[in-house]
Structure 1
Amino acid sequence: MASKQAKSMRGETLSAFTLLAPFAIVFLLFFFLPVLQTFYMSLTDSSLTRTNGFIGLANYVTLAQDPSFWSAVGNTFYFALLTVVPLTALGLVMALLVDHFTRASPLLQGAFFLPYVLPISVMTLIADWMLQPSSGVINHIFDTQRAWLADVTWALPVVAFATVWWTVGFNMLLFLAGLRNIPADLYEAAALDGARGFTLFRTITWPAMRPVVGLALVLQLIASMKVFGQTYILTVGGPFNTTRMTLHYMYETAFIQSDAGYAAAIAMAFVAIVVTLSLGQAAFSRWLSREGA
Structure 2
Amino acid sequence: MLLDVPGIRLGHRSLGDTGVTAIVSADPAGMRAAVDVRGGGPGTRETDLLAPHNTVERVHAILLTGGSAFGLAAADGAMRELESRGLGFPVFGEGRPGPRVPIVPAAVIFDLVVGSPDHRPDPTDGAAAVGAALDGPLGAGSGSVGAGCGATAGVLRGGFGSASCRVGDHVVAAGVVANPVGSVIDPASGRFYGDPSRPAVDTAAFSSLERPTPALNTTIGVIATDAPLSVAHLQRIAIAGHDGIGRAVRPAHSPLDGDTLFAVSTAPDGVEMWGAGDVEKHAALCEAAAEVVASAIVDAVAAAEPGFGITAWTEIAY
Give the alignment's TM-score, normalised by structure 1: 0.23
Whose RCO is larger (CA < 8 A, sep 6+)?
Answer: 1
Report the TM-score when normalising by structure 2: 0.21
Larger C-alpha radius of gyration, 1 or 2?
Answer: 1
